[in-house]
Structure formats: C-alpha cells, structure tokens
Amino acid sequence: MQERKLTSKDELTTLIKDKEIKTWEETIEFVRCLPYGRNSNRTDLKLVITEQKGSCSSKHSFLKKVADLNGIPNIKLILGIYKMDKNNTPDIGNILINNAIDFIPEAHCYLKIDGVRIDITTYQSDFKKLEKDIVKEIEIQPEQVDKFKVEYHKDYLKKWILKNNLERNFDEIWEIREQCIKNLTE
C-alpha cells in the first residue's frame, strides 16, 4: 500500500510534521506508541501531541481529524459499547471481581479504516480481544467525544442497570467503572 503524505497546513497536521512525521501511516504508529492517559481537556485534540498521551477517545479522534484535514478517505471514528471484564481488559485488575460484577458496559472509541476495525489506544491494543464483546456501535465525529460520548455511555449504563435489575444504582456502577479506568492509567 502506498504511503499517504500529510499535506494540510492546519494546526494538528503541523504539530505532527514538527515531529518529523510525514505520512498518515507514520502518524498512526506515533500515536499508538504514546502512553495511555486522559488529557487535561478532552475537547482539545492537539493535547494528544503536546501532552504526549491520550485515551481511546482522544487518540482516535485526533487521528480521524488529521485524516479528514488531509483528505484521507475511508476513515471512520466508531463509538462502541463492549462488555468490559478482566479477560478483555486485564489491566482493570480485580475491581469487578471484588464488587461481584461480571462486566460493565464500557464506551470505547476506535477507527474503521477501509472497513477494518483498528484500535490504537496503546501499542498492545488488539481489537480482536474486544470484538466478541461489542454490543453496540455507532459512527461519531471527533467533536462528539466530549459531551455526546459521555452522555451516550451514561444513558446506556442507566438502561442496562434497569434492564438487569441490578442492586446497585448508577452512581455506584459509575464509581466502580472509574476505579477500573484509573487502574488502566497506572
């Protein structure tokens, strides 16, 4: 496959080019190798580069935006809900087990490149580990990883709690989820 050059002169592309990165493929590898971590402002995509880290949301949104700005076709940003458990997300530790929960529906962003799901959250990320646990997918735009993603996830969790007659309320489940995410960043 022929490498696709970054040609835009926008701020995000310039930040990448300042790192001596010249192609879309090099951009993917650079972002994949950045550490996992929440950025200080989830709406400011340039922080993936300036803070040298990112979450699934910020990294994939950054890449989708760079693709759009550089006219790279067939790149979709996907918001998936998957059954997060210790098997598909081992770094959450024993939090779910300690709370007697088999899984928590988790919102996860990734890309579809030419129809193939790609997860570049970390260098070790492999979408095949999540594939069988995906329960819902929608395409979103980079600007939707802020409020829309969070509200969509919270609404899904609230319905899941009601549907499954869980003995815990939303705030308790969200706190358990936050403990899982905290473990991922350590």
3-state secondary structure string, 64-108?
A: HHHHHHCCCCCEEEEEEEEEECCCCCHHHCCHHHHCCCCCEEEEE
108, amino acid identity: H
Look at 58 and 129; give whichever has higher pLDDT.
58
DSSP letter (8 states) at residue 13: H
Round to whole Å and give the CA distance between 23 and 46. 17
74 exposure class (CB count in 10 Å sphere: 0-12, 13-18, 19+): exposed
186 or 94, which is more confident: 94
For residue 186, pLDDT over 80 is answered with: no
Cβ count near 179 (within 10 Å): 15
pLDDT at 26: 97
Summarize pLDDT for 63-121 with one digit per residue, the tens: 999 999 999 999 999 999 999 999 998 888 899 999 999 999 999 999 999 999 999 99
Kindly tell me if the per-residue pLDDT of 185 is higher than 80: no
| Number of independent structural domains in the chain | 1
pLDDT in tens, 124-154: 888 998 999 999 999 999 999 989 999 999 9
* 49: containing domain: 1-186
Q: CB of 138 within 8 A of CB of 78?
A: yes
Q: What are phi and psi of 54, to 5 degrees?
A: -175, 160
Greatest distance between any 2 Cα atoms in the chain: 54
What value does the mean pLDDT take over residues 43-51?
96
Per-residue buried b or exposed e for 12-45, using 16+ beta carbons within 10 Å of the residue's own CB: bbebbeeeebebbebbbebbbebebebbeebeeb
